[in-house]
A = this chain, B = another copy of it.
Amino acid sequence: MSLKNILLRTINQKNKYINLAATAVKINQEQYNHRDQNNKYKKTVATALFSSVLIGTVLAEKSKNNKKELKENNEENTCGAGEKRPDLPTYRAEEISKHNSKKSFWVTYKNGVYDVTSFLPSHPGGDQIMNAGGYSIEPFWNVYGMHKTKEIYALLESYRIGNLHEDDMVDLSDEELWVKEPIRDKRLIVKTSKPFNAEIPAKLQVAHFDTPNELFYVRQHMPVPELDSSEHRVRVTIKNGQTVTREFSLQQLDQFPRTAVRAALMCAGNRRSEMNEQVKPVKGISWQGGAISNAVWEGVLLIDVLKACGLEDTSTAGKHVIFTGSDIDATGVNFSTSIPLEQALNPKNRILLATHMNGAVLPPDHGYPLRVIVPGAPAVRSVKWLESITISKDESSSHWHQKDYRSFNASKTWETADFASAPPIYSLPVTSAICDPAHGDTVTAKNGVVEIRGYAYSGGGAKILRVDISPDCGKTWVQAEEMQSDDAPPQQHYAWTLWTARIPVSKGQKELELWAKATDSNFNTQPERFNDIWNIRGVLSNAYHRIKVQIKH
């Protein structure tokens, strides 16, 4: 089917996006239709596919006005990209559609036509860009809204070759995709609105050991799916010679012993903004320290469900558990990632299929009605809106698993980094942050002492043993006195630690630079600076946290 036909149909049909998706990227119909309850949702999802690897730095962290910035960068400021250019020739959609190969690769944006052939080799997402060949990038970018930065619009415009014929213009606005999004707490600091990504303000992090659900940071890759708990099923597939498949309703899952795990979830990109600012730009949501929160998760143990499905302890070596969510991208592909099966089968890892969060039913933003919780792992492995669990000899083939959440040394570029040979991030290094006061605050010294509070966390079940604060750029260190942590057994410390330190200040002192570093039960500590842990994706950004405050006596 030619692009022209697709475009014509797109104009004429109300469920235009999904048809385009099904045709353009030839998705597996079986997979596509397997869940009736999702169809309604799927029909509202756009057809964009663009590697999530290229999630741009949305916000220049320098500016203080978050809301203004969002509007500027994310929603409105396109730097004039796609406006009519009378100086350039006009092309028909049919002509454009022919330029969909590596030899000649055109895309459109609003009125603009762009020859991006020479850009293809530099595209971080590799061949996934091919799905947009000869067509508009708008529906793709509508789902991956993070592309909508000044820099990327300017880059696009630099490839401009002409204008799209007016008769071939299509309304590709994205409103339909996002109308069902949950209502969110106004105190969250929004980093991107479509998809919704927002951090918890630092001072609210240390206000509760278990973060209230409405303040828990939110990390979405796509629109939030609308699911019905009474109809929801999770399908377990074990390929072991013959394939065994079983489906569980939530009621059926409830037959397994219920248990609770207190665990922090942290995005692998938490504190990325510091790496951005202190070294050089990286790609990804520019999180400050607010992409971590703590909760008590309740549900059933994954290991119990797998064993009930006949999984045996033998022949597990080298296999993987693939978790798939109901959130789908523009091509109809569900979000998916995996963890090693042997990690999943270690009872001490306490991996849950969770239905509740801090005593309440999971909110839609956190995976209602069912999600995985992989304690001690980066939050991306704790797949939300869980609809399938597959034991496989291969890792998840999704681009979220294959092309993201991996790390490289500081010298690797997008050109030299080899995602295939880089191991996925299945655990997180020790980190800490000062939450109260914030950088730039004025604090009051009481009896010559300034009190500061923050969090510390380490992945893989490691406990935080110590947090040390330097008030003089490393000359001396003051150990935090109060440490609030979980009471879990050794190697199963999945919650964060909240700490309080009392820093002596001298009488006339007006300014104070504070450095924080934590030590975990493997006695790993944080690196001093971000320089040598810098990486193209800005993940694992765990160097000392440094702030400056003014002192009032």
Minimum Cβ distance to chain B for residue A512 (Å): 17
Beta-carbon contact of B476 and A411 below 8 Å: yes
Closest to A460 in B: B522
Beta-carbon contact of A478 and B411 below 8 Å: yes
Closest chain B residue, CB of each to CB of A534: B477
- 7 contacts across the A-B interface (CB closer than 8 A): A342-B490, A348-B348, A428-B522, A460-B522, A474-B532, A524-B524, A527-B527
Task: Please provide the chain A residues from 516 to 542 with a CB less than 8 Å away from any CB of chain B in the complex.
Answer: 517, 519, 521-529, 531-533, 540
- Interface stretch (choices A138-146, A213-221, A462-470): A462-470
Interface status of A183 (Cβ within 8 A of chain B): no
Copy number of this protein in the oligomer? 2
Minimum C-beta distance from A456 to chain B (A): 14
B-chain residues with CB within 8 Å of residue A410 when the two chains form the complex: 468, 476-477
CA distance A411 to B479 in the complex (A): 9
Tell me if A409 and B527 are in contact (CB < 8 A).
no
- B491 contacts A523, CB within 8 Å? no
- Min Cβ gap A489→B in Å is 4
A383 at interface, CB cutoff 8 A: no
A343 at interface, CB cutoff 8 A: yes
Q: How far is the CB of A102 from chain B (nearest CB, A)?
A: 29
* B527 in contact with A528 (CB, 8 Å): yes
**Which residues of A are interface residues toward B (Cβ below 8 A)?**
317, 340, 342-343, 346, 348, 407, 409-411, 423, 425-430, 458-460, 462, 465-466, 468, 470, 474, 476-479, 489-491, 517, 519, 521-529, 531-533, 540
| Chain B residue with the shortest CB-CB distance to A376 | B522
Known contacts A411-B478, A532-B477: A524-B522 contact under CB 8 Å: yes
Select from chain B the residue with minimum beta-carbon distance to A430.
Answer: B524
* Chain B residues with CB below 8 A from A528, complex form: 527-529, 532
Choose from B460, B478, B521 the contact partner of A462 (Cβ within 8 Å).
Answer: B460
A430-B527 Cα distance, complex, nearest whole Å: 12
- Bound-state CA distance A250–B529 (Å) is 52
Contacts of A491 in B (CB 8 A): 343, 346, 460
- A426 & B490 in contact (Cβ 8 Å cutoff): yes
Give Cα A517 to B525, complex, Å: 14
Given contacts A346-B348, A490-B342, contact A428 B523 (CB under 8 A): yes
Contacts of A423 in B (CB 8 A): 465, 521
- Please name the residue on chain B nearest to A475 by beta carbon: B411
- Having A460-B491, A460-B522, A525-B532, one finds 10 other A-B pairs with CB under 8 Å, namely A317-B489, A342-B489, A342-B490, A407-B519, A409-B466, A411-B477, A425-B523, A426-B521, A460-B462, A474-B532
Determine the chain B residues whose CB is within 8 A of the CB of A430 once the complex forms.
524
> Of all chain B residues, which has the CB nearest A466?
B409
Which residues of the other chain, B, contact A465 by a CB distance below 8 angstroms? 423
Query: In angstroms, how far is the closest chain B Cβ from the Cβ of A166?
Result: 52
Chain B, residue nearest A463 (CB):
B423
Which residues of chain B come closer than 8 Å to A348, judged between CB atoms? Answer: 346, 348
By a CB distance below 8 angstroms, the chain B residues around A458 are: 522
**Cβ contact within 8 Å between B522 and A462:** yes
Question: Shortest beta-carbon distance, A2 to chain B, in Å?
Answer: 46
Task: Name the distance in Å between A526's Cβ and chain B's nearest Cβ.
Answer: 8
With A346-B348, A409-B479, A411-B477 as contacts: A340 and B490 at CB distance below 8 Å: yes
A533 to chain B, nearest CB (A): 6
CB of A379, distance to nearest CB on chain B (Å)? 14
- Give chain B residues whose Cβ lies under 8 Å from the Cβ of A409: 466, 468, 477, 479
Q: Which single member of B427, B474, B476, B517 contacts A521 (CB below 8 Å)?
A: B427
Q: In the complex, what residue of chain B is closest to A487 when comparing beta carbons?
A: B317
Q: Which 7 A-B pairs have the closest CB atoms?
A: A524-B524, A342-B489, A429-B524, A409-B477, A427-B522, A429-B523, A409-B468
Complex CA–CA separation, A522 to B376 (angstroms): 9
**Once bound together, how far apart are the Cα atoms of A411 and B523, in whole Å?**
17
Interchain CA distance A521-B426 in the complex, whole Å: 7
User: If the complex has contacts A425-B523, A460-B491, are A474 and B531 also in contact, measured as CB distance less than 8 A?
Assistant: yes
Known: A477-B410, A532-B474, A532-B528. A523 touches B490 (CB 8 A): no
* Cα distance, A533 to B343, chains bound together (Å): 31
**Alpha-carbon distance between A529 and B531 when the two chains are bound, in angstroms:** 13
CA distance A523 to B460 in the complex (A): 10
Q: In angstroms, how far is the closest chain B Cβ from the Cβ of A505?
A: 16
Q: Which has the most chain B C-beta neighbours within 10 Å: A428, A478, A523, A532?
A: A523
Q: Are B340 and A525 in contact (CB under 8 A)?
A: no
Q: How far is B342's CA from A280's CA once the two chains are assembled, in angstroms?
A: 44
A529 to B526, CA, bound (A): 11
A469: shortest Cβ distance to chain B, in Å?
10
Q: What's the least CB distance linking A520 to chain B, in Å?
A: 8
Contact A525 B533 (CB under 8 A): yes
- Bound: A491/B374 CA distance, A: 15
Contacts of A407 in B (CB 8 A): 519, 523
